Structure 1
Amino acid sequence: MEPRIAKIFDAYPEKATFVLMQCRQAVFDIAQEYELGAVEETLKWGEPSYFVKGGSAVRMNWKPNQPDCCFVFFHCQTKLVSTFREVYGDLFEYQGKRAIALRLDAPIPLDQLKHCLSLAMRYHSIKHLPLLGC
Structure 2
Amino acid sequence: MTASHPSFANPALADAFNAFPLPTRQALQKVRSWIYEIAAADAQIGTIVEELKWGQPSYATQPKSGVPLRLGQPKDGASGALYVPCQSALIGELRAHYDHDEASSIWFEGNRGLHFDPTKPLPETELRHAIKLALTYYRRRKG
TM-score by length of 2: 0.84
| Counterpart in the other structure of 1:82 | 92
Letter aligned with residue 50 of structure 2: E
1:68 paired with 2:82, answer no
Q: Give the secondary-structure state (helix, strand or coil) at the position aligned to 1:127.
A: helix
Aligned equivalents of 1:69 and 1:6: distance in 2?
A: 20
Q: Give the secondary-structure state (helix, strand or coil) at the position aligned to 1:67.
A: coil
The more displaced of 80-89 and 119-128 is 119-128
What is the deviation of 1:112? 2.0
Equivalent of 2:55, from 46, 49, 57? 46
Whose helix proportion is higher, 1 or 2? 1
Equivalent of 1:108, from 122, 126, 130? 122
Which aligned runs of 4 or more in structure 1 are off by greater than 6 angstroms?
none
Q: How many residues in Structure 1 have an aligned counterpart in Structure 2?
A: 128
Letter aligned with residue 33 of structure 2: Q
Equivalent residues in 2 for 1:1-134 (5 A)? 1=8, 2-35=10-43, 36-52=45-61, 53=63, 54-63=65-74, 65-89=75-99, 90=101, 91=104, 92-127=106-141
Structure 2: runs of 5 or more not aligned: 1-7
Q: Give the secondary-structure state (helix, strand or coil) at the position aligned to 2:52.
A: strand
Measured against aligned partners, the alpha-carbon deviations of 1:76-124 in whole angstroms (never above 9, x if no partner) come to 1111001100012242200000000111233211122111111100000
Root-mean-square deviation over aligned CA pairs: 1.4
Letter aligned with residue 85 of structure 2: H
Aligned equivalents of 1:104 and 1:23: distance in 2?
A: 11
| Counterpart in the other structure of 1:132 | none
Aligned equivalents of 1:8 and 1:40: distance in 2?
A: 16
Structure 1: runs of 5 or more not aligned: 130-134
